[in-house]
Amino acid sequence: MQTLDNPIEIASFTPYPIKHLPLDIRLNDTSLSIIWDDNHQSEFHYLWLRDNCHCSECITQLTREQMFEICDVPLDIKPTDAYLTEENRLVINWDNPSHTSQFHPGWLRSHCYSEANLKAKQWSAKVWDKERISTELASYQAQDILQDDKVLLSWLRQLRDDGLTLIKHVATESDSLIEIANRISFIRETNFGTVFNVRAKADANSAAYTDLRLPLHTDLPTRELQPGLQFLHCLVNDATGGESILVDGFKIAEHMQTYYPEEFYSLSTFPMSFYNKDKHSDYRFRGTAIVTDSDNKVVEVRLANFLRGPIDVPAQQTLPLYHAYRRFIELTRDPKFQFFYRLNAGDLIVFDNRRVLHARNAFNLEQGHRHLQGCYVDRDELLSRIRVLERE
């Protein structure tokens, strides 16, 4: 009999440790209940169990992709027999058509969809204001991230949870940030290139390429999918001014949700247009400044005043949207939400661009130079890299 002493078995490509053992099963009209050794009870519907059979007829063993389609069995499919083996596997013999499925206990418990389990698995961002991030900003050494997968995983988890991290002592040669970014995955190319240079130039096609003050914003709200992660690497900065300002957009949104619910509703319901135009491209997107999921949880912020087009919602929504938009901007200007950081040569900040708004003060090049390089990596790549590292 397999016990917790032999805890891991691969289902799909992911190991599912056996943390609890099934003790008993009960067959119901449309579902099966499992009683576990910690008194937790899982209910699995017969359609769900049949849909998730991992046998070689239902799942291709090379790619672990599903070949079975639920329309190939009747809606009222039921077991003719179901039992637990000595190895704690759930075995089900199906009635129509005849088929046998076997389920690993670690996989079953991990995929239990009881309300308690679903709530426990929900990820929540660790929102921050100036006070928290000033003392808790996660800082790493470049060589540790490049050479140690454990440090890499720690950095990626912090980046996922806080949305902002600092990496010190990155080489100051051009394109050095690529090696760091590639520790996650490939770089997302845009009309600004694979790696973009943030420095003042005469033919600027973005406010970022001037010496002007740059207000708080997310990058490329003009795109259907805003870049997930932004890397900003300082090669040289001996100019006067140019301090970076960062604000957790999730913190602002949650503050509005609590204290200004009507304005929150407007920003998460009524869309705005964003334009990014130059001689060779014309990108436009229309979407809400605050994006929520089905549980009304904030999952994205999209904002850049200097890229915003005219408000174009029905008349009865226009003033409420302006009031809400004004409130959001006022809150981002509140010092308690603003974190200031002056980037020095070798510093690399990495942040969630669909969450953290960033800005910079104007700078003066009369007595120095300022050259930053940046790039983007999509958030999907971050989450995938975390999962693969966690397998190990």
Q: Is residue 379 part of a domain?
A: yes
Instruction: Give the Å distances, CA to CA, from 351 to 137, 192, 236, 375, 381.
Output: 11, 18, 20, 11, 14
> Over the stretch 180-208, which tens digit does the pLDDT of each residue have?
999 999 999 999 999 999 876 444 445 55
The residue type of 160 is R
User: Within this chain, do residues 297 and 380 fall inside the same structural domain, yes or no?
Assistant: yes
Domain range for 19 is: 8-119
Given this model, what pLDDT does residue 211 score? 60
The tally of domains found in the chain comes to: 2
pLDDT cut 90: percent of the chain above it = 81
- What's the rounded Cα separation, in Å, for the pair 235 and 345? 5
Q: Does residue 348 share a domain with residue 278? A: yes
Flag whether 1 is in a domain: no
Report the distance separating Cα 18 and Cα 39, nearest Å.
15
What's the pTM? 0.90
- Residue 282 domain-assigned? yes
pLDDT, residue 152, reads 98
Q: What is the mean pLDDT of residues 354-375?
A: 85
Same domain, 203 and 72: no
The answer as to whether 74 is a domain residue is yes
Domain boundary among 63, 87, 119: 119
Eight-state DSSP code of residue 112: -
Show Cβ contacts of residue 320 under 8 Å, excluding neighbours closer than 6 positions. 262, 263, 266, 270
59 plus 165 within the same structural domain: no
End-to-end CA distance of the chain: 26
79 and 172 belong to one structural domain = no
* Tally: H helices and E strands in the chain: 11, 24
Q: Per residue in 210-263, pLDDT tens?
A: 566 788 999 999 999 999 999 999 999 887 777 899 999 999 999 999 999 999
* Domain end point (choices 63, 97, 119): 119
Let me know whether 99 and 134 are in one domain: no
* 336 located within any domain: yes
Q: Give the closest residue to 135 by CA, choosing from 154, 162, 168, 157.
A: 162
225 and 307 fall within a common domain: yes
Q: Are residues 99 and 15 in the same domain?
A: yes
Q: pLDDT class for 280, splitting at 50, 70, 90?
A: confident
Dihedral of CA atoms 156, 160, 162, 164 in degrees, nearest 10, equals 60
Same domain, 97 and 236: no
Give the model confidence (pLDDT) of 295-342 as tens digits: 999 999 999 999 999 999 999 999 999 999 999 999 999 999 999 999
Work out the average pLDDT over 352-366: 86
Copy the structure tokens of residue 67. Answer: 């070949």
Looking at per-residue pLDDT, the higher value among 12 and 182 belongs to 182
Nearest residue to 71 via CA among 49, 53, 92, 51: 51
| Integer Cα distance of 67 and 56 in angstroms | 9
Same domain, 150 and 102: no
> How many other CB atoms are there within 10 angstroms of residue 173's CB atom?
7
Omega before 97 cis (within 30°)? Answer: yes
Q: Which residues pair with 25 in a beta bridge?
A: 34
Whether 232 is covered by a domain: the verdict is yes
Residue 189 domain flag: yes
Q: What pLDDT sits at residue 202?
A: 40
Strands 164-168, 290-292: pairing is unpaired
Measured CA to CA, the distance from residue 55 to residue 69 in angstroms comes to 14
Query: What CATH number should be reported for the domain holding residue 43?
Result: 3.30.2020.30
Instruction: Look at residues 310, 304, 307, 302 and name the one whose alpha carbon lies nearest to residue 278.
Output: 307
Q: What percent of the chain has pLDDT over 70?
A: 92
Chain centroid, CA 94 distance in Å: 39
Q: What is the CA radius of gyration of the chain?
A: 26
Task: Identify the domain boundary among 94, 119, 144.
Answer: 119
Beta-carbon contacts of 26 under 8 Å, excluding residues fewer than 6 positions away, are: 32, 33, 35
Please tell me the predicted confidence (pLDDT) of residue 96.
Answer: 87
In a domain, 125, yes or no: no
Residues 148 and 78 in one domain: no
Asked if residue 90 and residue 15 are part of one domain, the reply reads yes
Encode pLDDT of 83-128 as tens digits: 999 999 999 999 989 999 999 999 999 999 999 999 998 999 999 9
CA distance 27 to 46: 10
210 burial level (CB within 10 Å; 0-12, 13-18, 19+): middle
Q: What is the mean pLDDT of the chain?
A: 92
